[in-house]
C-alpha cells in the first residue's frame, strides 16, 4: 500500500543498517520511538498497525538521518510515508487538521499581528496572495480529480 | 549588492513582530537593499501541509519562488523552515522536469511561471557569505568580548544539504564565525546541533516538546552561558516561550534567547528597546547588565599595554 511512495529496495538496505539511530534526536530522547520497528513492519506489509501511533508524529523532520545515510534516504522517508498514510485515513492529530484547514482557507498559517506591528512602527505587511492561491488550489483539485478519474 | 526579496513567513509576522523589527532595523542600519514583495503565502510548512498533500506543498512553494523570479530577485529569509521548504521544493522540481512541467501547467492558470533559478538564502549564511565580516565589523560600535554565547543553528538552516548547499550539514561553521566576528565566545556544547523539538508542539505533544527543550536548556545552564543565539522563529518559540512556561512552573534556567540580528543590532549601537528585546519572554536583562560591566572594564590587553608604556617611560628616564 505504500508502493510508489517508498523505494522498497532502499528501505530493505535501510532495515539492515540503522546507522542513523544514534543521531536521531527522537530515538535518543523519546521513550519507545524506534523507526526500525516501523520499517520492519512496512517491509512485512504490516504498516497499517502504525497509522494510529503517536510515534509516527515524533519524527522531527530534522534530516539528521538523511545526512548520515549512505543512501541519502534515512528513517525520514519511511516516517513521512506513514504520516501521509495516517492522514489519508483521517488519523492525524487535531492540530495538524486545524493547521491544514487554515492553510487551504487563507494560504497562511496565521495572519500578521496588526496591533503588535503598529506598536513597533512596522510597515504594512505585503498584500496576501490569498486570492491567487485559492484559484490555484481550485485548478490543482480539478487536475487531481481528472487524473484520479482516468 | 543586488536587491533581494525578504520572505518573512507566517510565524514571524503573526507571532513575533518584534523579531521582524530586529531584522529590519539591522538590514536598514547596514543599508542592505531589501524589498517587501506582495503576494507571498505560507512557504508552505512541512509538518502541517506536506504531511497531508505533497503535490499542494510543491505547487505552493513553486508559486512563492515564481513571485520573486518574476521580479528578477533572489530570496533571503530570517526563517529556517521557510528557506528549507522553498529550497527543497526548488531542488525536487529542478531534478524532475516532468513534475516541473506539471507544476508550471497549473501555475500558468494564474499567470505564473516557476523557473527554478532564484537564489534562496537564510539570513545567517547570507550575512556570512554576501555581507561578509569586513562590512559587519565596520558597522559595529561595540563588541561582545568577554561574553559567552551558545549558538543554536536550527536544523533547517543547512538541512537537507542537497537542497540548501550552504554549510556542512553535520558540522556547520558559519553561524559560529558570525558570533566570533561580533567578538563573543561561541561556547561549545553537546546539544548544539540537536533539533529544538518544537515540531512536537505542532502535533499535540506539548509535554514531549518541553522535554526536548529542557535537555538543551539544562546543558546551557550548566555551561553557564550568558545567552543563546538562534535565527528561527520555531526554535525561538521553543526556547523563549517554552522556557518561560517551564520557569513559571518552578524550573529555573535563566538562559536569555536572542535572534542573530538582536546581537548584531546591539553591537551596532541600537538599544534593547529599538530591537524589541523587552518583548522576549525570558528576561534579557542579566545579559545586558553583564555586557555593560564587561565592556566598561579595561581589557587585560589594554591594562598590559598601559603598564608597558609606564615601564618604557621609566626606562627612558634612566
Q: Any idea what the CATH number is for the domain that residue B217 is in?
A: 3.40.50.11810
Q: Does residue A120 lie in a domain region?
A: yes
The whole-number pLDDT of residue B304 equals: 77
- Name the residue among B1, B74, B9 with its Cα closest to residue B40: B9
DSSP conformational letter for A6: B
Cell 487535531 found at: A94
Non-local (6+) Cβ contacts of A28 within 8 A are: A22
Cell of B78: 530570517
Is there a contact between A136 and B107 if contact means CB atoms under 8 Å apart?
yes
Domain identity same for A53 and A113: no
pLDDT at A1 over 70: no
Please list the alpha-helical segments (H only) found in chain B: 9-15, 17-29, 54-70, 80-94, 97-108, 123-126, 132-139, 161-164, 174-181, 206-222, 233-236, 242-248, 260-267, 285-296, 300-316
**Domains contained in chain B, number:** 2
* Per-residue pLDDT tens over the stretch A62-76: 999 999 999 999 899
Q: Are A85 and A102 in contact (CB under 8 A)?
A: no
The nearest CA of chain A is from the CA of B80 a distance in Å of: 11
**What band does A148 get if pLDDT is binned at 50, 70 and 90?**
confident
Domain identity same for B168 and B278: yes
For chain A, what is the total number of helices (H) and then of strands (E)?
8, 0
Domain identity same for B205 and B249: yes
Radius of gyration of chain A (CA): 20
Domain identity same for B8 and B40: yes
The whole-number pLDDT of residue A4 equals: 64
The whole-number pLDDT of residue A3 equals: 59
Mutate to test the interface with B, among A20, A91, A129, A130 (most CBs of B within 10 A): A129
Domain identity same for B110 and B191: no
The whole-number pLDDT of residue B98 equals: 96
Q: Tell me the residue range of the domain where B74 lies.
A: 4-122
CA atoms within 13 A on the CB side of B33: 7
Interstrand relation of B120-122 and B74-77 (parallel, antiparallel or unpaired): parallel
Cell 534562496 found at: B120
Cell of B136: 559587519
Q: Does residue B106 lie in a domain region?
A: yes
Q: Are B84 and B92 in contact (CB under 8 A)?
A: no
Domain identity same for A67 and A21: yes
Please list the alpha-helical segments (H only) found in B223-284: 233-236, 242-248, 260-267
Domain identity same for B76 and B180: no
DSSP conformational letter for B274: T
Residue positions counted in chain B: 318
The whole-number pLDDT of residue B297 equals: 81
Q: Are A72 and B162 in contact (CB under 8 A)?
A: yes
Please list the alpha-helical segments (H only) found in A89-129: 94-106, 114-119
Q: Does residue A3 lie in a domain region?
A: no
pLDDT at A149 over 90: no
For residue B67, give the chain A residue with the closest CA.
Answer: A129
Cell of B215: 535537555
CATH number at residue B68: 1.20.1050.140
Domain identity same for B155 and B103: no
User: Does residue B126 belong to the interface with chain A, where contact is any CB pair within 8 Å?
Assistant: no
Q: Is A47 helix (H, G, I), strand (E, B) or coil?
A: helix
The nearest CA of chain A is from the CA of B254 a distance in Å of: 23
Q: Does residue B316 lie in a domain region?
A: no
Is there a contact between B10 and A110 if contact means CB atoms under 8 Å apart?
yes
**Domains contained in chain A, number:** 2
* Cα B172 versus chain centre, distance: 14
Domain identity same for A66 and A108: no
Helix (H) or strand (E) holding B120: strand B120-122
Q: Are B59 and B109 in contact (CB under 8 A)?
A: no
Of A88, A108, A133, the domain-final residue: A88
The whole-number pLDDT of residue A2 equals: 63
Binned average pLDDT, 10 residues per bin, chain B of 318 residues: 97 98 98 97 93 95 98 98 98 97 98 98 98 97 97 98 96 98 98 97 96 98 98 98 97 98 98 98 98 85 77 75
Cell of B199: 515540531
- Name the residue among B95, B61, B163, B39 with its Cα closest to residue A140: B61
User: Does residue B146 belong to the interface with chain A, where contact is any CB pair within 8 Å?
Assistant: no
Scan residues 15-34 of A and list those with Cβ closer than 8 Å to B: 25, 29-30
Please list the helix, strand and coil fractions of chain B in percent, rounded to the nearest 5, in that order: 55, 10, 35
Q: Does residue A51 lie in a domain region?
A: yes
CA dist list (Å): B10 to B20, B209, B284:
11, 21, 25
Q: Kindly tell me the burial class for residue B152, based on how many C-beta atoms sit within 10 Å of its own C-beta (0-12, 13-18, 19 or more).
A: buried
Domain identity same for A23 and A41: yes
Q: Does residue A2 lie in a domain region?
A: no
Domain identity same for A17 and A72: yes
Q: Does residue A27 lie in a domain region?
A: yes
Least CB–CB distance from A60: residue in B193, B197, B211: B197
Cell 545526512 found at: A67
Does the interface ipTM go beyond 0.90? Answer: yes
Q: Tell me the residue range of the domain where A135 lies.
A: 94-149
- Name the residue among B157, B149, B159, B289 with its Cα closest to residue B229: B149
Amino acid at each position: 500500500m505504500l508502493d510508489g511512495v517508498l523505494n522498497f529496495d532502499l528501505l530493505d538496505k535501510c532495515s539492515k543498517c540503522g546507522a542513523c539511530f544514534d543521531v536521531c534526536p527522537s530515538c535518543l530522547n523519546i521513550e519507545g520511538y524506534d523507526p526500525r520497528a516501523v520499517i520492519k513492519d512496512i517491509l512485512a506489509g504490516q504498516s497499517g498497525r502504525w497509522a494510529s501511533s503517536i510515534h509516527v508524529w515524533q519524527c522531527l523532520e530534522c534530516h539528521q538521518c538523511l545526512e548520515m545515510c549512505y543512501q541519502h534516504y534515512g528513517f525520514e522517508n519511511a516516517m513521512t510515508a506513514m504520516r501521509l498514510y495516517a492522514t489519508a485515513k483521517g488519523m492525524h492529530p487535531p492540530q495538524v487538521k486545524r493547521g491544514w484547514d487554515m492553510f487551504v482557507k487563507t494560504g497562511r498559517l496565521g495572519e500578521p499581528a496588526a496591533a503588535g506591528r503598529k506598536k513597533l512602527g512596522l510597515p504594512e505587511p505585503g498584500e496576501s496572495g490569498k486570492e491567487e492561491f485559492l484559484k490555484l488550489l481550485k485548478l490543482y483539485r480539478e487536475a487531481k480529480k481528472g487524473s484520479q478519474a482516468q | 549588492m543586488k536587491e533581494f526579496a525578504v520572505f518573512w513567513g507566517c510565524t514571524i509576522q503573526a507571532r513575533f513582530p518584534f523579531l521582524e523589527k530586529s531584522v529590519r532595523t539591522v538590514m536598514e542600519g547596514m543599508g542592505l537593499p531589501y524589498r517587501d514583495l506582495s503576494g507571498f503565502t505560507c512557504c508552505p510548512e512541512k509538518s502541517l501541509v506536506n504531511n497531508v498533500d505533497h503535490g499542494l506543498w510543491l505547487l505552493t512553494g513553486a508559486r512563492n519562488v515564481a513571485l520573486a523570479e518574476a521580479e528578477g530577485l533572489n530570496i533571503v529569509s530570517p526563517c529556517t523552515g521557510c528557506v528549507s521548504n522553498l529550497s527543497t521544493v526548488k531542488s525536487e522540481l529542478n531534478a524532475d522536469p516532468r513534475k516541473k512541467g506539471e507544476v508550471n501547467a497549473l501555475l500558468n492558470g494564474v499567470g505564473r511561471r516557476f523557473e527554478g533559478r532564484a537564489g534562496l538564502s537564510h539570513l545567517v549564511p547570507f550575512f556570512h557569505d554576501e555581507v561578509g565580516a569586513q562590512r559587519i565589523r565596520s558597522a559595529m560600535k561595540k563588541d561582545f568580548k568577554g561574553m559567552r554565547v551558545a549558538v543554536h543553528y536550527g536544523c533547517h538552516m543547512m538541512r537537507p544539504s542537497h537542497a540548501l548547499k550552504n554549510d556542512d550539514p553535520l558540522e556547520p561553521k558559519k553561524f559560529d564565525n558570525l558570533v566570533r566576528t561580533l567578538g563573543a565566545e561561541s561556547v561549545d556544547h553537546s546539544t548544539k546541533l540537536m533539533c529544538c523539538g518544537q515540531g512536537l508542539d505542532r502535533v499535540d505533544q506539548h509535554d514531549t516538546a518541553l522535554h526536548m527543550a529542557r535537555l538543551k536548556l539544562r546543558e546551557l545552564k550548566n555551561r553557564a552561558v550568558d545567552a543563546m543565539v538562534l535565527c528561527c522563529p520555531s526554535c525561538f518559540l521553543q526556547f523563549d516561550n517554552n522556557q518561560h512556561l517551564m520557569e513559571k512552573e518552578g524550573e529555573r534556567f535563566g538562559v536569555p534567547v536572542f535572534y542573530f540580528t538582536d546581537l548584531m543590532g546591539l553591537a551596532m549601537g541600537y538599544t534593547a528597546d529599538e530591537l524589541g528585546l523587552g518583548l522576549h519572554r525570558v528576561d534579557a536583562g542579566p545579559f545586558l547588565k553583564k555586557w555593560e560591566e564587561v565592556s566598561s572594564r579595561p581589557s587585560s590587553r589594554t591594562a598590559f599595554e598601559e603598564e608597558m608604556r609606564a615601564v618604557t617611560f621609566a626606562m627612558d628616564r634612566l
